[in-house]
Amino acid sequence: MVRTHTVVAGETLPALALRYYADAELQRLIATASGIPDPDAVGVGQQLIIPDFARYTTRSGDTLSALAARFYDDPSLSALIAAASGITELEAVAGEQHLIIPELTRCTVLAGDTLSALAARFYGDVSFSPVIASVNGIADPDYIDAGTVLTIFVGRSDGFGLTIVDRNEDDPRMWYYRFQSQAMGWNPGVNVLLPDGYHTSGLNYPVLYLLHGGGVDQDFRTFDFLGIRELTAGKPIIVVMPDGGHAGWYSNPVASFVGPRNWETFHIAQLVPWIDANFRTFAEYEGRAVSGFSMGGFGALKYTAKYPGYFASVSAHSGPASLRRDFGLVVHWANLSSAAVELGGGTIYGAPFWNQARVTADNPVQRIDSYRNKRIFLVAGTSPSPINWFDSVNETQVLAGQREFRERLGDAGIPHEAYEPSGGHVFRPELFTVDLDGIIARLRPAAPV
């Protein structure tokens, strides 16, 4: 949800622009989004919109109307770019001119809509209805015709226990955020990959939460390195790729000696609602899927079992599905790896004695009923490298655990899709593509706001 502000005594637009954007010149952006004709005339109690934006440097042949068509699919909105950029002549742009492109969406008024209700939806406060009216040239805020297309300035703000401490929204599709959270002892990063056309479509989209594997070289950027932009090109879905720790196991650990590392709280209680509040999503079961590789595949299975109302589709690419088999080999590995690289000697499940209730709660093969009415997609390799101990132990355990899981799903009459390709513990883009098409088919399709 976009940031908002109510003016108090002594505040000016340049000072507020400096506070929110670290650039006093962006006072024009605030004025444009807030329907203020004179940036020097703001008073105590005035409601302001603090939208997000992109910077654009013009090239030879650019015009404001062409840029408005490119960014908003509507050349008539060129006046907003001009106002935010301090341009008085609408078509007077030259090469190498620096422009501010406000972030906005278009909303078509439906029968029964009111500006107060729309203000509550987009800004969290009915008192912002006069701002919407001013921006859109509506003389009577109490009356609006169905079918009217409104311009709504948007952006992302803090909330749900998350404070944005770093961000980059310059790329048309891949947006990056880093958060401060009391659930975590450091600031985890998140990549949000938007579908082509997100900025101009006015559609809501389903969301895939894509979880990376374990290892000191794994983090929220992992799938970008693996080509996620190309794999999702043209696909109508938002992909959220959060940090999960080098060995966080998508869990709140029993013990940590490096401060809080409550990954489960961060992902489920904080990040999911933050995404739904700040992007055009379907904030519902039918609008979400979760998938992951290796440790992330386990995280996907675990989150689906523990929070059965969150995800309509779950996928595990070489992710373990059974914690207690082979004398609890996966639990021992989770404890050992987390103690070594994540928790400063702490563990996920407790050592030398396990927290048995927590193991049971996290164990996919013991939570079979939680997977009913969901799409389930499983991948495990059948021929790990015999000379690579890590590859062999990992994928051998994954394959055996997934077969046990699949047997129990079958006994319960729960349909699932499974693949056993050759090879070992690796991410397989070709099967992710199959998975992604199945995810999109299962979830609610993109539709107008």
Q: Name which of 310, 308, 300, 285 is nearest 402 in CA terms.
A: 300
Buried-state track 328-347, b at ≥16 Cβ within 10 A, e below 16: bbbbbbbbebbbeebbeebb
Are the C-beta atoms of residues 327 and 237 closer than 8 Å to each other?
no
* Active site amino acids: 294, 391, 425
Distance CA 241, CA 293 (A): 12
Q: Name which of 423, 419, 425, 408 is nearest 379 in CA terms.
A: 419
CA distances from 208 to 44, 90, 94, 195, 285 (A): 43, 40, 41, 11, 12
The residues, ordered by sequence, that sit 6+ positions from 10 with a Cβ below 8 Å of its Cβ are: none
Distance CA 26, CA 73 (A): 24
Buried-state track 282-296, b at ≥16 Cβ within 10 A, e below 16: beebebbbbbbbbbb
Angle among Cα 263, 264, 265 to the nearest 5 degrees reads 90
- Residue 356's CB is within 10 A of a number of other CB atoms, namely 11
Distance CA 292, CA 212 (A): 6
DSSP designation for 23: -
Distance CA 179, CA 44 (A): 31
Distance CA 224, CA 162 (A): 23
Largest Cα–Cα distance in the chain? 75
- Residue 70's CB is within 10 A of a number of other CB atoms, namely 14
The residues, ordered by sequence, that sit 6+ positions from 233 with a Cβ below 8 Å of its Cβ are: 196
Sign of CA pseudo-dihedral 95, 97, 102, 108 = negative
The DSSP code sequence of 331-400 is HHHHHHHHHHHTSTT--SS-SSS--HHHHHHH-GGG-GGGGTTSEEEEE--S---TT-HHHHHHHHHHHH
